[in-house]
Structure 1
Amino acid sequence: MGNMASAVEDTVVIEEGCQIRKLSDREWETAKNITLHLQQASSTLLDQPVGLLRYLSDFKGWTLKKATQQPGCSFSVSNVGVFEDSEPKHPAGVKIKDMIFSQSADGTGAPFNLNLASAKSDGTLNMVMTWWPGMLGVENEGRFMDEVSDRVVEELKTMQGNKACRSN
């Protein structure tokens, strides 16, 4: 089971120039509140953006308009969760040992997306970052995204007590 809302928005305040460290009680409380928000949003079909798309009379026009507006958020996270790696029940079945997930960049949404997936076999969390070229507002988008990725890996290492994390 998981939190399967099509979209949820939350604001997280991050101190400028913040050093990498263990999460504070305030940050853990924020994480808890976001989890509760996801649970609430995934328990109803009301106001789910994907479901509301069918009511658009001019999908192409809406998409083009959204693609030229400033994004309303900094980034998005899409997490397909943790896949069990139990032995197949059928002789022709497969065993998932590792999982990677990616979606295309969203010209109507956030400047960049973090796409997350994992398999229980070794506990590795795989992260793929996608972005819409030109939306990041920096000269070298590849280098910028490498720096964001490195920072996320550093933060995860700190959160888990410096267990093995790798950045590729």
Structure 2
Amino acid sequence: MDQVLRLCGAHDVKFTSLLLQVIVRALSETLPNKTSTGNRAGSFIALTVVDLRHLLKNIESDDMACPGPTASFELSSRSKLEDWKDWTNTESESPVWIAARKTTQDLAKCASTLHDQPIGLLSYLSKFRPWMQGEAEKDRDGSYEVSNLGVFDPMASSQEGAWGVESMLFAQPANMTGSCLAFNVVTKKGGDTTISLTWQKGTPDVMEEEEFISRMCQLVTKYLGEVDEHVVGCNDRSVSNQ
């Protein structure tokens, strides 16, 4: 993972933004592209969770169960194999890095203001329950979600003799109104980064659901692993894993 973060830093890209591109690549390889039968996934909509707690009064960065998160939406066309040629090179001008850099900028802009945020529309609802029931009956408006909790330091506020934390796993329950797939990311300071994939059974429109999910996990792991195998020119420039 250190090599991945260094490569992201060389391209002025956050890890979350690269992960979006990796997921699109995996979806493009896994889902069909058959225009003759109409069974074609031509593009994908990403929903990225953005933290706004730092902009809210009387709310700290570690407060939970508060109206802090919002979402940024991004439409991506199918990934092309040629776009990933030499992408592990720090000098690469691959479309992958161009797209990831734009996403990084868009997410930073989204996280810098309370204006024009989707979550603000909830204040206009007069009856929340009927609206929620109606949303649950609609098609999903997102292909996949990425939620990156960032880096947790379990020793930051621990007392002497307290329990230690060796690893972390972040997962979400099925969201009836959310995206079809949810990629959940968390990192232990000085330890591993874990990515889990959660979904509501029956939501992915594929024949072999378990096989599809397993294949997605394998491909995301494989693509990120390409960095360790082929990375060229990485320096010690640091970058956040968000």
Give the Cα separation in 2 of the matches to 1:96 and 1:137.
38
Q: Secondary structure at the match of 1:12?
A: strand
Higher mean displacement: 40-49 or 82-91: 82-91
Please name the residue that 2:196 is paired with: 128
Contact 2:171/2:184 (8 A) holds in 1: yes
Contact 1:114/1:129 (8 A) holds in 2: yes
How do 1:1-168 residues align onto structure 2 when only pairs under 5 Å count? 4=51, 6-15=70-79, 18=81, 22-23=86-87, 25-84=94-153, 86=155, 90-91=159-160, 93=162, 95-122=164-191, 124-161=192-229
Q: Secondary structure at the match of 2:51?
A: coil
Shift in CA distance, 89/146, structure 1 to aligned 2, threshold 3 Å: closer
Higher mean displacement: 52-61 or 99-108: 52-61
When normalised by structure 1's length, the TM-score is: 0.80
Structure with the largest fraction of strand: 2
Contact 1:85/1:97 (8 A) holds in 2: no
Please name the residue that 2:13 is paired with: none
What do residues 107-135 of structure 1 show as CA deviations (whole Å, max 9, x unaligned)? 1121110011111223x221111112221
What do residues 28-82 of structure 1 show as CA deviations (whole Å, max 9, x unaligned)? 1111111111111111112333343243222222222222222222111011012
- RMSD (Å) for aligned C-alpha atoms: 2.7
Higher mean displacement: 77-86 or 25-34: 77-86
Report deviation, 1:22: 4.8
User: One-letter code of the match for 1:102?
Assistant: A
What do residues 127-156 of structure 1 show as CA deviations (whole Å, max 9, x unaligned)? 111112221112332221111111111111
Q: Secondary structure at the match of 1:9?
A: strand
Report deviation, 1:96: 3.9
Higher mean displacement: 89-98 or 139-148: 89-98
Shift in CA distance, 117/136, structure 1 to aligned 2, threshold 3 Å: same
Q: May I ask how many residue pairs the two structures share in their alignment?
A: 160
Give the Cα separation in 1 of the matches to 2:164 and 2:152.
10
The structure, 1 or 2, with the larger RCO (C-alpha pairs under 8 Å, 6+ apart) is 2
Q: Secondary structure at the match of 2:229?
A: coil
Contact 1:98/1:121 (8 A) holds in 2: no
Structure 1: where are the runs of 5+ without partners? Answer: 164-168
Give the Cα separation in 1 of the matches to 2:194 and 2:124.
35
Contact 2:85/2:94 (8 A) holds in 1: no
Shift in CA distance, 50/98, structure 1 to aligned 2, threshold 3 Å: farther
User: One-letter code of the match for 2:98?
Assistant: E
Report deviation, 1:85: 5.5
When normalised by structure 2's length, the TM-score is: 0.57
User: One-letter code of the match for 1:34?
Assistant: T
